[in-house]
Structure 1
Amino acid sequence: MAGPSSGLRVDHAVSSGTFSLDGETFDVDNNIWVVGDDSECVVIDAPHSVDDILAVVGDRRIRAIVCTHAHDDHVRVAPALRERANDGSGAPILLHPDDRPLWELTHGGPDAVDGHLWDVDLSDGMKIDVAGTTLTVLHTPGHAPGAVCLHAPDLGCVFTGDTLFQGGPGATGRSFSDLPTLEASISAKLFALPDDTVVHTGHGDDTTIGAERAHLGD
């Protein structure tokens, strides 16, 4: 396999909207992460605005739209982005199948009127290739049953969605979440990474694996 592209990079923006679950709605700012080079990229999560995402992508080819989990603030515009990607030729949506109940809260199922499903199931250890590098899928349930993180060793970072933030684990206490499961996922999958691995989160500022290991006393 050829080495990573010399232009390999992570691009970032913030998109604002809402998160709704269990009958409550909150205003939220979501990070948009795009990994690639000057010609192709992978989009991580599809929050509130297709235009916000495409502004980061530019004229690059989108290889995949990878969803870290299926809360509505991370997948709301995934089907619309799929349709508009690559000048309308489309790009596949990737999601862990354990998050289907959450996905269907936003987009319905195959039997629903105007229902949409994703295209490719994510699984633990799966490799996603882009721009000469590889993202490795880490299944990290707890915040959501199908939550995943994406480890990019060539870039020295991991994209954690809402699994791990600066200061600790993601939120639990709502439907489909469980704190002991989340803590076990972080310990087994994320704390196995080097301490200097940069953590790109679904909301808020970056941190490192080492900093969060210290916070959580692992």
Structure 2
Amino acid sequence: MPHPSPSPAGVRVERVVTAGTVPRAHGDLTLENNTWVVGDDDECVVIDAGHDGRAIVKAIARGRRVKAVLVTHGHFDHIDAVGEVCDGTRAPAYLHPADRFLWDDHYPVTPDEDLADGATLTVGDVELTVLHTPGHTPGSCCFHAPALAAVFTGDTLFPGGPGATRNDHSDFATIIDSIRDRLFTLPPDTIVLPGHGDSTVISREAPQLQEWVDRGW
């Protein structure tokens, strides 16, 4: 599995895999989610706190300041541990406002901060740039870290294709546009770190785009 190298000043990426059950009308679904912790020995950000907040907080070394809990999109399995992680670390939660309708189904309080396309957040010596990549949900975002040659894609891009667009708030043509225009324009050696499963590399996925368009998913 490709993995980003630490930055010169020591910012590194750690993966915490959590598992949980997502309730669905036609039967509950058990999912494993990737939570990404990005930072150095002093501070970090958490990307997509899913299922088990206690395990995520435990994985963050004692004494590290959590600057933010970033949400790639508002689906239940990516936000259901945000409250617990924020409570345990006193970190603010960031969400794109177009996904507030999903957040509001789960939380009675508003997120602390809005994500906006092109905004940047700095952790250690590494800058994360917000890329608004709608399609899986209206407010889906990815986080690009050029210094780590990595992009955190949530459920927008996986090895072998885009995230699912089966819901009434998702759209296949839109997610294809987001992948083509926002992700496949990144450097070819950029490592893709998704919300579930293994990582990949932009250069491995980009040649498959027309195949995905032709198959329709």
Alignment partner, residue 13 of structure 2? 10
2:70 paired with 1:66 = yes
Q: AA paired with 1:103?
A: W
Cα deviations by residue, 1:130-185 (Å, 9 ceiling, x for unpaired) = 11210000000000110000000000000000000011000011131111110001
CA contact (8 A) 2:36 2:47 kept: yes
Q: Against the structure 1 CA distance between its residues 162 and 177, is the aligned structure 2 distance closer, same or farther, given a 3 Å change threshold?
A: same
Alignment partner, residue 152 of structure 1? 145
| Distance in 1, Cα, partners of 2:27 & 2:110 | 24
Alignment partner, residue 182 of structure 1? 175
Deviation at 1:21, TM superposition (A): 5.4
| Distance in 2, Cα, partners of 1:175 & 1:23 | 16
Alignment partner, residue 166 of structure 1? 159
Runs of 5+ consecutive residues of structure 2 not aligned to the other structure = 1-6, 212-217
2:184 to 179, 183, 191: 191
Q: AA paired with 1:166?
A: P
Q: Against the structure 1 CA distance between its residues 71 and 7, is the aligned structure 2 distance closer, same or farther, given a 3 Å change threshold?
A: same
Q: TM-score, normalised by structure 1?
A: 0.90
2:96 paired with 1:102 = no
2:88 to 84, 91, 108: 84
Alignment partner, residue 207 of structure 2? 214
Q: AA paired with 1:117?
A: T
Q: Against the structure 1 CA distance between its residues 128 and 212, is the aligned structure 2 distance closer, same or farther, given a 3 Å change threshold?
A: same
Runs of 5+ consecutive residues of structure 1 not aligned to the other structure = 108-114
1:54 to 43, 57, 71: 57
1:202 to 195, 199, 211: 195
Which region of structure 1 is more displaced relative to structure 2, 54-63 or 200-209?
54-63
Secondary structure, counterpart of 1:6 in structure 2 = coil
Which region of structure 1 is more displaced relative to structure 2, 51-60 or 152-161?
51-60
Which region of structure 1 is more displaced relative to structure 2, 36-45 or 47-56?
47-56
Deviation at 1:48, TM superposition (A): 0.4
Q: Percent identity?
A: 47
Alignment partner, residue 214 of structure 2? none
2:34 to 28, 31, 34: 31
Which region of structure 1 is more displaced relative to structure 2, 168-177 or 16-25?
16-25
CA contact (8 A) 2:99 2:140 kept: yes
